[in-house]
Amino acid sequence: ENFIHLCNPHLEKMKEDILYHFALGTGTHDFPALFGDVKFVCVGGSPSRMRAFIAYIAEELGLGSPGCDYPNICAGTDRYAMYKVGPVLSVSHGMGIPSISIMLHELIKLLYHAKCSNITIVRIGTSGGIGLEPGSVVITRQSVDATFKPQFEQVILGKTVIRSTNLDEQLAKELMECSKEIGQFNTVIGNTMCTLDFYEGQGRLDGAICLYNEEEKLQYLKEAYDSGVRNIEMESSVFAAMCNLSGVKAAVVCVTLLNRLEGDQISSSHDVLVEYQQRPQKLVGYFIKKSLGKV
């Protein structure tokens, strides 16, 4: 049994642990009863997408009925949304490293308090692609920073500490295999660049502030491509770093909403974007079904 590895000796001494941004606490909620059977955790930026995912996976696993509603476990706050069906937990994390980092601290503690074991966690997200047709899905090999290094800089008490952003190689291969079996959309394994900003940090020309030109932008994106980067998003590095430290098997599966070599604005129709966003859900849904012997 592979339990959560909690890298914090102080927690043992606490009588009660309040997970403030989930509006849950060990003094008010029975974590083992509520979450002890969780084996798969899916996280993504948008609360409504994570609600849609739980309805989708419930139907896929034969655990729900069409039109059935799933209560938000974090209804006491609007910081994050959380849904559960059977062994699957679905949690939103907002946008950017700090936002997903708060969620992951509290999620890892939740899984620890619930005595969960053999957890697989997958981020299903959206991203900008580089050199891929829009709608392609990228399974992350390594999450890299804005200088293409596979590392995450964590500031602790004012000092910067470097953490590894490795992800589970075997899990990435299994997900790639699942995509081949589904055969519905283009999927690649590639590096994912994780930035602190959507506009200047990703070389967009359409933000409120832009002090570089199109040539410099394209040169940067091509350097990223040449280093192995296939998509850009804003959460994967701290996700990989924290899952590593906690001993949790983790993967990042993001659809690309546009090809950044062609432009900056996300101008596809609403319906097209909705269908794109279902692709990581389909892929991870299939993976979960297969893992449970239901394919």
Binding residues: 79, 123-126, 202, 204
Can you tell me the distance from the alpha carbon of 201 to that of 221, in angstroms, rounded to the nearest whole number?
Answer: 11
* 11 Cβ contact list (under 8 Å, min separation 6): 17, 109, 112
Sign (positive or negative) of CA dihedral 245, 118, 63, 85:
negative
122 scored as a contact of a copy of itself (CB under 8 A) = no
- Nearest C-alpha neighbor of 120 from the set 31, 237, 251: 251
269 scored as a contact of a copy of itself (CB under 8 A) = no
Selected from 133, 197, 226, 262, the binder of a copy of itself by CB under 8 A is 197
Q: How far is the CB of 217 from a copy of itself (least distance, A)?
A: 7
Can you tell me the distance from the alpha carbon of 29 to that of 80, in angstroms, rounded to the nearest whole number?
Answer: 17
**Token output for 210:** 């832009």
61 scored as a contact of a copy of itself (CB under 8 A) = no
Selected from 115, 118, 207, 294, the binder of a copy of itself by CB under 8 A is 207
* 221 Cβ contact list (under 8 Å, min separation 6): 130, 203, 260, 261
Segment contacting a copy of itself (CB under 8 A): 64-72, 117-125, 128-136, 143-151?
143-151
Structure letter (DSSP) for residue 13: G
Q: How far is the CB of 173 from a copy of itself (least distance, A)?
A: 27
Segment contacting a copy of itself (CB under 8 A): 17-25, 32-40, 134-142, 281-289?
17-25
**CB of 201 within 8 A of CB of 238?**
no
Which is nearer to a copy of itself, 104 or 178 (by Cβ)? 104
Can you tell me the distance from the alpha carbon of 214 to that of 209, in angstroms, rounded to the nearest whole number?
Answer: 14
Selected from 2, 7, 169, 272, the binder of a copy of itself by CB under 8 A is 7
* Residue list, annotated binding site for substrate: 202, 204
Q: What backbone torsions phi and psi does residue 146 show, to the nearest 5 degrees?
A: -70, -10
Which is nearer to a copy of itself, 221 or 253 (by Cβ)? 221
250 scored as a contact of a copy of itself (CB under 8 A) = no
Other CB atoms closer than 10 Å to residue 194's CB: what's the count? 26
How many chain residues touch a copy of itself (CB under 8 A)?
68
271 scored as a contact of a copy of itself (CB under 8 A) = no
Give the containing element (helix H, strand E) for 210: none
Contact residues for a copy of itself, defined by CB under 8 A: 6-11, 14, 17-18, 20-21, 45-48, 76, 78-79, 94-99, 101-102, 104-106, 108-109, 112, 146-148, 154-158, 195-201, 203, 205-212, 214, 216-217, 220, 234, 242, 245-246, 265-267, 270
